[in-house]
């Protein structure tokens, strides 16, 4: 870079242009290498899962009709832990690689060579769903599907070299609409079956709530929220913005605030007593934070508000130094529920290394299986999410509890999961 600047200062623009062009060429080469790496990585995931399906005994005990499917799930779990990725991500990559190799040979070949990004391959694979023959299709409908798939593969493998991503996707959308065998009404009905709600947690104790639903319903919700917000703003005491009002209204409506069906979901929040009494930390230690169990810290004002609004609270004794739960009162009549609450407070999430699914929704697993003489006491129980609970009992994976009650997984292929390293105090002196 210094040499290039010196040349520019010496008034030799042609030499400077050469260095700039060389840098940009290197950037293109790096992009090709990255595309090639992503495609080869996806292919290796697909190959590993295919190998597991052909040899289900590596992962599962039984050899039944669902052994191959169970082995695939176990292999995806194994891959996700090795790559430190989520199972959902591995399944997504697997789906794209499988369909691209089977139905888009030309486009997939370009991806393996590095000339097409996996993003465009993924979008093209998604487009194939719209030209797929319906259930119980006739021979002619299957032939039409194969021809449409061939045309999409031929067109996209050509566009990949000449079109920008936006142009590629626009042309793909136009082509698919022309080839799709079903009417827009049928496509809408199919998409409607995928309606769902998702929550994405952000910093500062906030989250995004998203709902995938028919457009007409989304517009109706927005209109109602906007109309109600405008009405509330007529009150001179109202200081909230329209956006804040719409958010507050939707939250209240969904939670049933003010109705006889107001939601009463159990959420575990730990609030240090020092926070409530306004005292300082112990021996000059910083004041411990309140937190939503399984999610993370919340600010002290929100914690105090929750404490004032709740009608029931339970005393929990926590070590003020390391925040480990030491004891908990036994007011519940049902011992199993008390044990469950204890485990939720201890773990917050599924006990397995790397799993962040809430312990509140987990199954309670016996370290020694009940049928083998395991006891139902809190020192031999651990929360495992439903997926891990199935893996623990139906695959050859070993779930081993550590002294701190976290759970290490040893896969049938010999991979050992690792516990997260302790959180370091970034304010501590070097």
Q: Which domain holds residue 383?
A: 269-410
Half-sphere exposure of residue 325, counting CA atoms within 13 Å on the CB side?
22
Tell whether 130 and 72 lie within a shared domain: yes
Q: Is 425 within the bounds of a domain? A: no
Give the pLDDT confidence score for residue 356 in this predicted structure: 86
Q: Comparing C-alpha atoms, which of 186, 199, 188 is closest to residue 267?
A: 199
Mean pLDDT of 286-294: 57
Element containing residue 398 per DSSP (H, E): strand 398-401
Tell whether 385 and 403 lie within a shared domain: yes
The secondary structure of 137-204 as a DSSP string is --HHHHHHHHHHHHHHHHHHHHHHHH--HHHHHHHHHHHHHHH-SS-HHHHHHHHHTT-EEEEEE-ST
Tell whether 325 and 368 lie within a shared domain: yes
Does pLDDT of 102 surpass 90? yes
Q: Is 284 within the bounds of a domain? A: yes
User: How far from the centroid of its chain's Cα atoms is residue 247's Cα?
Assistant: 24
Tell whether 45 and 28 lie within a shared domain: yes
Q: Lowest-pLDDT range, 140-144, 169-173, 315-319? A: 315-319
Segment 38-70, tens digit of pLDDT: 999 999 999 999 999 999 999 998 777 889 999
Q: Is 422 within the bounds of a domain? A: no
Tell whether 42 and 145 lie within a shared domain: yes
* Burial bucket for residue 42 (CB in 10 Å: 0-12, 13-18, 19+): buried
Q: How many domains does the chain have?
A: 3
Structure tokens at 419: 């516990």
Q: Which of 40-54, 64-78, 318-332, 351-365 has the highest mean pLDDT?
A: 40-54
Tell whether 278 and 305 lie within a shared domain: yes
When pLDDT is cut at 50, 70 and 90, the band that residue 283 belongs to is very low
Tell whether 233 and 143 lie within a shared domain: no
Segment 177-211, tens digit of pLDDT: 889 877 777 777 878 888 999 988 887 778 899 99
Tell whether 170 and 202 lie within a shared domain: no
Q: Which residues contact 241 (CB under 8 A, 6 or more apart)?
A: none
- Tokens 């827009």, located at residue: 184
Strand 398-401 to 381-384 pairing: unpaired
Tell whether 15 and 88 lie within a shared domain: yes
When pLDDT is cut at 50, 70 and 90, the band that residue 368 belongs to is confident
Q: Comparing C-alpha atoms, which of 155, 45, 24, 30 is closest to residue 90?
A: 45
The partner residues of 221 in beta bridges, in order of sequence, read none
Map residue 84 onto helix, strand or coil. coil
Among the candidates 192, 221, 247, a domain finishes at 192
Tell whether 312 and 209 lie within a shared domain: no
Tell whether 230 and 291 lie within a shared domain: no
Give the pLDDT confidence score for residue 290 in this predicted structure: 59
Map residue 323 onto helix, strand or coil. coil
Mean pLDDT of 378-384: 85
Does pLDDT of 345 surpass 90? no
Among the candidates 144, 169, 192, a domain finishes at 192
Tell whether 179 and 208 lie within a shared domain: no
The partner residues of 408 in beta bridges, in order of sequence, read 400
- Tokens 């080869």, located at residue: 40
Segment 104-156, tens digit of pLDDT: 999 999 999 999 999 999 999 999 988 888 778 889 989 999 999 999 999 99
Residue 59, Cβ neighbours under 10 Å: how many?
A: 26
The secondary structure of 367-391 as a DSSP string is SS-GGGT---SGGGEEEE-HHHHHH
CA distances from 42 to 36, 111, 311, 337 (A): 10, 11, 52, 44
Does pLDDT of 330 surpass 50? no
Half-sphere exposure of residue 396, counting CA atoms within 13 Å on the CB side?
18
Does pLDDT of 371 surpass 90? no
């Amino acid at each position: 870079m210094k040499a290039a600047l010196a040349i520019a200062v010496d008034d030799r623009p042609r030499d400077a242009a050469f260095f700039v062009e060389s840098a940009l060429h290197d950037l293109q080469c790096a992009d090709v290498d990255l595309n090639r790496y992503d495609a080869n990585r996806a292919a290796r995931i697909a190959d590993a899962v295919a190998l597991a399906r052909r040899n289900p005994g590596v992962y599962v005990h039984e050899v039944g009709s669902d052994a191959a499917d169970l082995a695939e799930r176990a292999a995806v779990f194994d891959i996700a832990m090795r790559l430190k990725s989520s199972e959902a991500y591995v399944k997504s990559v697997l789906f794209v690689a499988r369909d691209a190799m089977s139905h888009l040979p030309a486009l997939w070949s370009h991806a393996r060579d590095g000339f097409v990004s996996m993003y465009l391959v993924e979008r093209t694979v998604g487009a194939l769903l719209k030209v797929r023959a319906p259930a119980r299709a006739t021979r002619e409908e299957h032939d039409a599907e194969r021809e449409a798939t061939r045309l999409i593969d031929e067109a996209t493998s050509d566009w990949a070299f000449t079109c920008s991503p936006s142009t590629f996707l626009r042309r793909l959308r136009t082509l698919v609409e022309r080839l799709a065998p079903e009417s827009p009404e049928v496509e809408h009905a199919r998409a409607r079956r995928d309606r769902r709600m998702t929550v994405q947690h952000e910093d500062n104790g906030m989250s995004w709530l998203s709902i995938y639903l028919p457009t007409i319903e989304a517009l109706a919700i927005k209109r109602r929220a906007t109309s109600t917000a405008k009405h509330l703003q007529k009150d001179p005491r109202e200081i909230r913005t329209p956006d804040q009002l719409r958010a507050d209204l939707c939250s209240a409506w969904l939670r049933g605030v003010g109705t006889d069906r107001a939601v009463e979901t159990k959420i575990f929040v730990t609030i240090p007593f020092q926070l409530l009494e306004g005292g300082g930390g112990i021996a000059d230690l910083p004041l411990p934070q309140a937190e939503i169990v399984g999610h993370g810290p919340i600010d002290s004002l929100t914690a105090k508000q929750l404490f004032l609004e709740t009608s029931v609270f339970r005393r929990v004794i926590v070590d003020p130094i390391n925040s480990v739960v030491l004891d908990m009162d036994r007011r519940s009549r049902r011992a199993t529920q008390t044990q469950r609450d204890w485990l939720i407070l201890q773990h917050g999430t599924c006990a397995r290394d790397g799993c962040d699914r809430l312990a509140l929704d987990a199954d309670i697993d016996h370290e020694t299986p009940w049928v083998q003489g395991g006891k139902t006491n809190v020192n031999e129980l651990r929360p495992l999410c439903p997926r891990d609970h199935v893996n623990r009992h139906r695959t050859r994976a070993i779930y081993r509890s550590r002294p701190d009650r976290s759970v290490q997984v040893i896969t049938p292929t010999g991979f050992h999961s690792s516990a997260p390293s302790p959180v370091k105090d970034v304010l501590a002196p070097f």
